[in-house]
């Protein structure tokens, strides 16, 4: 009986916490019409610059979903969230695998975050591994999926995600690294930019090259590029003009 009461109390507390979080949610519906002027991540980076006595750096140019290279969209989907267009904000299989992996390794490392969850974190939260932060990320992701179209979610993601120190969004990243607009990215360049996303601040060339080639391999396996294009691309040295 005592165990049942404790369980009921915990469930009640969780339900109350979820209700409270929903109550204090940001106005997500506004994102249908307006592009956010800043994000929690950008504010965090700016704060760190100021703490170090430096002026915040910010390169960001908003572009529409339709003007972004299809190569880039495909590379990101295959590398970050292959089920993006079919799930409702959470890829439960990947999330379960992430929890299992973290449990086995005894650390909160693999997030299992979908593109929608990453957007929720970028817009409103911190990068911390706190479990409550992760729950907030999930709740906001569910709200994003309810209020916005998949196309709009992906468009927002492409424009706010971090691609280097002070570089936010695909247009700024494309201009910085390849001196061209995001509409003109090749499959090789797209795979390179997608490979930067897991570690945008301090990408190591060896790891970046490996991730780029993995993404190219996935693009070949789904028939997006040919095996000949894949082989030629993987033989190309890593080159980032903006570095």
What is the largest distance, in Å, between two alpha-carbon atoms of the chain?
Answer: 68
List the chain domain ranges: 62-234
Q: Are the C-beta atoms of residues 177 and 192 closer than 8 Å to each other?
A: yes
State the pLDDT at residue 73: 98
Q: According to the model, what pLDDT value does residue 129 have? A: 77
Q: CA 15, CA 100: separation in Å to the nearest integer?
A: 24
How far is 112 from 80, CA to CA, in rounded Å? Answer: 9
For residues 99-111, one letter each, b for 16 or more C-beta atoms within 10 angstroms of the residue's C-beta and e for the rest, the string is eeebeeeeeeeeb
Give the H or E element holding residue 23. helix 2-23
pLDDT score, position 5: 58
Fold of the domain spanning 62-234: Penicillin binding protein transpeptidase fold (1.10.3810)
pLDDT digits (tens, 9 = 90+) for 200-221: 998 888 899 999 999 999 999 9
Q: What are phi and psi of 24, to 5 degrees?
A: -100, 15
Q: Cα 107 vs. chain centroid, distance in angstroms?
A: 21
Please name the helix (run of DSSP H) or strand (run of DSSP E) that holds residue 168, with its range, or none.
strand 167-168
Rounded to the nearest 5 degrees, what angle is found at the Cα of 226, between the Cα atoms of 224 and 228? 155
Q: Please report the sign of the dihedral spanned by the C-alpha atoms of residue 63, residue 64, residue 70, residue 73.
A: positive
pLDDT value at position 17? 47
Q: What does the pLDDT read at residue 240?
A: 52
Start-to-end CA span in the chain (Å): 64
Q: Say what the pTM is.
A: 0.84
Regions of the chain with pLDDT less than 50:
14, 17, 99, 102-110, 242-243
User: Rounded to whole angstroms, how far apart are CA atoms 195 and 88?
Assistant: 25
What's the pLDDT at 189? 96
Predicted confidence at residue 83, as pLDDT, reads: 93
């Amino acid at each position: 009986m005592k165990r049942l009461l404790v369980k009921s109390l915990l469930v009640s507390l969780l339900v109350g916490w979820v209700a409270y979080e929903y109550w204090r949610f940001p106005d997500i519906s506004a994102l249908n019409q307006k592009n956010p002027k800043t994000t929690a991540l950008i504010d965090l980076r700016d704060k760190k610059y100021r703490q170090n006595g430096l002026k915040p750096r910010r390169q960001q140019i908003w572009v529409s979903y339709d003007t972004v290279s299809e190569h880039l969209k495909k590379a990101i989907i295959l590398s970050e969230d292959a089920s993006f267009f079919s799930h409702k904000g959470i890829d439960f299989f990947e999330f379960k695998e992430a929890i299992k992996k973290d449990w086995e390794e005894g650390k909160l490392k693999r997030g299992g975050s979908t593109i929608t969850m990453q957007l929720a974190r970028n817009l409103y939260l911190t990068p911390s591994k706190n479990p409550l932060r992760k729950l907030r990320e999930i709740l906001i992701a569910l709200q994003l999926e309810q209020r916005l179209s998949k196309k709009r979610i992906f468009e927002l993601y492409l424009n706010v995600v971090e691609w280097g120190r002070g570089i936010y969004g695909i247009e700024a990243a494309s201009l910085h690294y390849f001196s061209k607009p995001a509409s003109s990215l090749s499959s090789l360049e797209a795979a390179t930019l997608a490979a930067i996303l897991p570690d945008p601040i301090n990408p190591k060339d060896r790891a970046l090259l490996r991730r780029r080639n993995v993404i190219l391999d996935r693009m070949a396996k789904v028939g997006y590029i040919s095996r000949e294009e894949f082989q030629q691309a993987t033989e190309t040295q890593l080159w980032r003009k903006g570095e």
